[in-house]
Amino acid sequence: MHTTEEYSRIIALHFSPEVVRKPMMYNLAKKFDLTFNILKARISPREEGHMILELSGNREDFKKGISYLQKHGISIQDVAQSITRDESICTHCGLCTALCFNKALSLDPETRVIVFHDSRCTACSNCTRICPVGAMHVETNGDS
Ligand code: SF4
Ligand code: SF4
């Protein structure tokens, strides 16, 4: 049975200089209909590449995409992650609340402060992309 369940994971990729020159990310999107958001990348033409990305799509396509990368000699690790907020720079503008579907960021109607309930946060990283001052940070264990 074909499932349309959406799936998303943060993964770390390590690859050889030969792979650096191939359009792997382009193929991943085109062949398997996956979307990706590169969170961190260190690539040089003569050295190994290292990349952390959020990969999303249909669960079956996701598995096929991962096999495709592995067949091309790319090693893949899951990356545990968490989100933190830099309280010293948050301006409490409220923009992030519209993108947080887990209600982990909400307006306190009395104080007009945006409260971060980190226990509700699923680390989807939506807020990190919209925050105008970069107060929301992705912390990973795979960025060495
Ligand atoms: S978008 Fe950024 S600055 Fe605005 S409330 Fe959210 S975390 Fe704070
Ligand atoms: S990472 Fe996602 S769930 Fe967590 S606070 Fe940001 S938008 Fe909400």
39 vs 130: CA distance, rounded Å: 14
In this structure, are residues 105 and 114 in contact, taking their beta carbons and an 8 Å threshold? Answer: yes
% of the chain beyond a pLDDT of 70: 92
Cα-only R_g, the chain: 18
Nearest ligand to the CA atom of 90 = 1
Backbone dihedral region for residue 102 (phi beyond 0: left; psi -120 to 50: alpha; all else: beta)? alpha
- CA–CA separation, 8 and 80 (whole Å): 13
**Where does the chain hold its CATH 3.30.70.20 domain(s)?**
81-139
**How much is the pTM?**
0.55
Ligand nearest the Cα atom of residue 96: 1
pLDDT at 144 over 50: no
pLDDT tens readout for residues 26-72: 888 999 999 988 877 887 767 788 888 888 888 899 999 999 999 99
Query: Residues spanned by CATH 3.30.70.260 within the chain?
Result: 6-78
User: 127 in ligand 2 pocket by Cβ < 6 Å?
Assistant: yes
Residue whose CA lies nearest to ligand 2 atom number 2 = 124
Q: How far is the CA of 97 from the centre of ligand 2 (A)?
A: 9
Q: Which atom of ligand 2 is nearest to the CA of 125?
A: 1
Nearest to 8 by CA among 47, 69, 66: 66
Chain-wide mean pLDDT for the chain? 85
**Residue 129, pLDDT above cutoff 60:** yes
What pLDDT was estimated at residue 5?
A: 60
Q: Output phi, psi for 46, to 5 deg.
A: -105, 0
Asked if residue 87 has pLDDT above 80, the reply is yes
Domain 81-139 has CATH 2.70.210.12: no
Asked whether 65 and 80 are in contact (CB, 8 A), the reply is no
CATH, domain range 6-78 = 3.30.70.260
